[in-house]
């Protein structure tokens, strides 16, 4: 399968490229689905959803598959994975998602890019975990929507690692050389556009639910649901290498305000190790 070796001319060109290739998924996802397929009669939609939600690439496959086959009588979006699977049915799900390509095979000649991709996927999972927990605290009307929105917030960065490994590695190298360089700027330098710019167009082209587009739109930051997802993504990014990032105190303050809880109970909820937690406690500098 061909990969992007040099920057494309336009956002539309990236969208067309991503749209013309089958989305690979994690090898672990394929293995788990095969194990569940052997016990298909007793597998629930919720159990399948838990597997899908551990893999942002698989989550994208499920949502886009459903939208491509959307019935004209269906006048509402499907915005959670478990509802998507319930609408399809368990047996049709297994039939639709068999013999899936894996990202490990696709990036077999790019081991450093595969490592970079796996780090972004782990960050997305971590963001989804944060966002889900905070949505529960906030008594959000649909926790599963928040979980999916957080998981897919960096979907296009994941696609860039999957289909343009050389460019993604160059963007990563630029950030490692300049810790002040924002990821959006590094991406724009290498791809010609930031992942977020491409993502807005991609979501519309793939006819993904409008709600998902709104939930990852930082211009709607007045919405507590959007703030929930944005802050979860920020904390996951800032703590990717540990809890000693200089941005963490500001993150904790913003999350505390969102959840209307104090810093100390928030630190306990997040499970911040004691050696770092003491730095963020009130009056810690006294």
Q: How far apart are CA 44 and CA 179, in angstroms?
A: 45
Number of domains in the chain: 2
Q: How far apart are CA 273 and CA 276, in angstroms?
A: 6
Whether 140 and 229 share a structural domain: yes
Whether 234 and 251 share a structural domain: yes
Q: What is the average per-residue pLDDT within 41-46?
A: 92
Q: What is the average per-residue pLDDT within 1-15?
A: 93
pLDDT higher than threshold 80 for residue 14: yes
**List of residues 6+ apart from 37 with CB closer than 8 A:** 94, 98
Whether 158 and 73 share a structural domain: no
- In whole numbers, what is the pLDDT of the chain averaged over residues? 91
Give the pLDDT score at 74: 57
Cα 184 to chain centroid distance, Å, stands at 16
Band of pLDDT at residue 75, cut at 50, 70 and 90 = low
pTM assigned to the model:
0.92
Q: How far apart are CA 162 and CA 103, in angstroms?
A: 7
Give the pLDDT score at 220: 79
In the block, tokens 């209307």 appear at 260
Q: How would DSSP label each residue in 164-181?
A: -HHHHHHHHHHHHH-TT-
Show the domain range for 45: 11-103
Give the tokens for residue 20. Answer: 């013309």
Here the CATH number for the domain that contains residue 122 is 1.10.3210.10
């Amino acid at each position: 399968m061909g990969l992007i070796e040099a920057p494309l001319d336009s956002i539309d060109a990236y969208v067309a490229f991503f749209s013309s290739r089958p989305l690979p998924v994690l090898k672990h996802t394929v293995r788990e689905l095969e194990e569940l397929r052997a016990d298909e009669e007793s597998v629930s939609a919720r159990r399948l959803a838990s597997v899908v939600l551990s893999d942002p690439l698989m989550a994208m496959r499920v949502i886009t598959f459903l939208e491509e086959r959307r019935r004209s009588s269906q006048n509402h979006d499907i915005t959670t994975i478990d509802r998507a699977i319930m609408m399809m049915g368990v047996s049709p799900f297994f039939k639709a998602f068999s013999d899936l390509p894996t990202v490990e095979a696709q990036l077999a000649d790019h081991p450093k890019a595969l490592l970079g991709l796996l780090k972004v996927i782990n960050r997305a999972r971590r963001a989804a975990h944060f966002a889900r927990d905070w949505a529960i605290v906030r008594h959000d009307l649909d926790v599963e929507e928040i979980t999916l929105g957080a998981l897919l917030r960096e979907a296009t960065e994941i696609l860039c690692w999957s289909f343009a490994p050389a460019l993604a590695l160059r963007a990563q190298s630029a950030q490692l050389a300049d810790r002040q360089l924002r990821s959006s700027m590094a991406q724009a330098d290498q791809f010609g556009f930031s992942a977020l710019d491409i993502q807005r167009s991609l979501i519309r082209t793939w006819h993904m639910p409008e709600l998902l587009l709104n939930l990852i739109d930082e211009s709607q930051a007045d919405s507590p649901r959007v703030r929930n997802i944005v802050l979860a993504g920020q904390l996951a990014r800032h703590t990717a290498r540990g809890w000693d990032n200089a941005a963490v105190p500001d993150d904790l303050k913003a999350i505390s305000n969102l959840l209307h809880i104090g810093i100390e109970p928030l630190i306990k909820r997040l499970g911040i190790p004691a050696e770092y937690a003491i730095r963020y406690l009130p009056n810690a500098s006294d």
